[in-house]
Amino acid sequence: MLTPSVVWQAGSLHLLDQTLLPQRKVVLLCESVEQVFEAIQQLRVRGAPAIGIAAAYGLLVDFPADADLALIRERATFLESARPTAVNLAWALRRMVSRAEAAVAAGEALLPALAREASDIHDEDRRSCRLIGEAGLSIVTAKPRVLTHCNAGALAVSELGTALAPIYLAHQQGVDVHVFVDETRPLLQGARLTAWELGQSGVPRTLIADNMVAHVMSRGLVDVVITGADRVAANGDAANKIGTLGVAVMARHYGIPFYIACPASTVDLSTPDGSAIEIEHRDPDEIRRFRSEWMSDADTPVLNPAFDVTPAELITGYMTDRGLLDSPQQLAATFSAAAD
Ligand code: MRU
C-alpha cells in the first residue's frame, strides 16, 4: 500500500514530500499555514485534487482558539494564491469558507465543523476515484495499452487516482494492461511518480522520454491515451500538465482515442473555454537545472509554463465520477445538472 500523500491525524497535517520521490520517502508535519502554502507552491504536495484536500486541512493548521470568519477568509485567500491553474484548490477553499459561514450563522464551533468538512472533501475524493475507474474500465479492458502523461494517480489524488484509476481496476481484474509513462519534463512527475507508483502496485509499465511519444504511437504500441486534468472549462477544453496538448495532437494524428479523467471538482463551468484558464508560469531554474544539477547556463532565457490546454475537439471523452461522457455538451449538461 502506498503512503498516502495527505493525512490529517489528531489535528495535524502530514504531507508526503513528492519532490524527494522516489529516492526518499519523507513525511512533513505542517506546523503553520505558511508551511502548507510553501508545500503546495513547491509541489511537495501536487496534483489538482490533492492540493485542494491539503489546503482544506491546511486552513486548520495551528488554529487559534479565537479564530473567526475574517481569519478563515484571509487564510483561504492566501492558500488559493499558491497555484492558479488547478481549480480544485479554489473549489475546496470556497467550500470550506461557505461551511465556516454556515457554522458562524448557526453558532457552531468552527474547528470541529471545518475538520468534518475537510474530511468529507477527502472521503468524496476517494469515492470519485473509484467512480472514475468504473467509468473508464470498459475502455481500458478493450484497449489495455495505455499512454499517460504526468501523474494522475494515487499520489495526486486519493487511493486510485483519476487517469490511473481504470488502469488499477483493470489490473486488479486480471486484464493484461501495460502503461507507457511519459517522463514529463521538467519536473519528471511521470518518471519519478507515475512509474514508481505503478511499480509499487505491480502494474506493467514502460518509461519513455517525452520526445518518444510519436515514435511509440507510430509503431502501433498505444491503444488509448488517458490523462488527468487541472481544470475543464464549460466547452470541454482541458488544462493539464505541459506536454499534454502535444500528446493529444499526436494521438489524433495516429487515430488513437484521447481521454481526460477527472472528478466534478475539476470541472469549472464558470470558465467558458480554455483561453480563460490562467496558466501557471514557474521558476526558470526548473528548466535550467534538475535539482542541484545545471543543464544549461544560469543566464539562459527560459519559458516555463506548467500547463497547457487541450481543445475539446482533440478529446474523445471524459471519464468522470458521473460516468463516461462522450462530448463536451454531455459534460456541461451533466455537471450543470449536478450543480442545481
Ligand atoms: O504540477 P502538478 O504536478 O501539480 O501537475 C499535475 C497534473 O497536471 C495532473 O495531471 C493533474 O493535476 C491531474 S491529477 C489527478
Residue 339 has pLDDT above 80, yes or no: no
Spatial neighbors of 138 by CB under 8 A, at least 6 apart, are: 324
Quickly state the pLDDT bin for 218 (edges 50, 70, 90).
Answer: very high
pLDDT for 48 beyond 80: yes
pLDDT in tens, 125-165: 999 999 999 999 999 999 999 999 999 999 999 889 999 99
Whole-number Å distance, alpha carbon 239 to ligand 1 midpoint, is 9
Cα–Cα distance measured from residue 118 to residue 13, given in angstroms and rounded to the nearest whole number: 11
Looking at residue 55, its pLDDT comes to 98
- Per-residue model confidence (pLDDT) at position 24: 97
pLDDT at 311 over 80: yes
Q: How confident is the model at residue 2 (pLDDT cuts 50, 70, 90)?
A: confident
Tell me the CA–centroid distance for residue 47 and ligand 1, in Å: 4
CB 49 within 8 A of CB 122: no
Among 182, 230, 237, 321, which one carries the catalytic annotation?
Answer: 230
Torsion angle of alpha carbons 62, 66, 72, 75, nearest 10°?
-40
Atom of ligand 1 nearest to the CA of 48: 12
> CA–CA distance from 97 to each of 36, 50, 72, 178, 271 (Å)?
17, 18, 7, 42, 21
Residue 63 pLDDT: 96
Is 176 designated active site?
Answer: no
Q: Ligand 1 centre and the CA of 70: distance in Å?
A: 31
Whole-model pTM above 0.95?
A: yes
Kindly list the structural domains of the chain, giving each domain's residue range(s) and its CATH number in brackets, ordered by start: 6-125 (1.20.120.420), 132-339 (3.40.50.10470)
pLDDT, averaged across the chain: 97
Cβ pair 163, 133 in contact under 8 A: no
Q: How many helices (H) and strands (E) does the chain have?
A: 11, 16
Q: Which residue has the cell 519534463?
A: 185
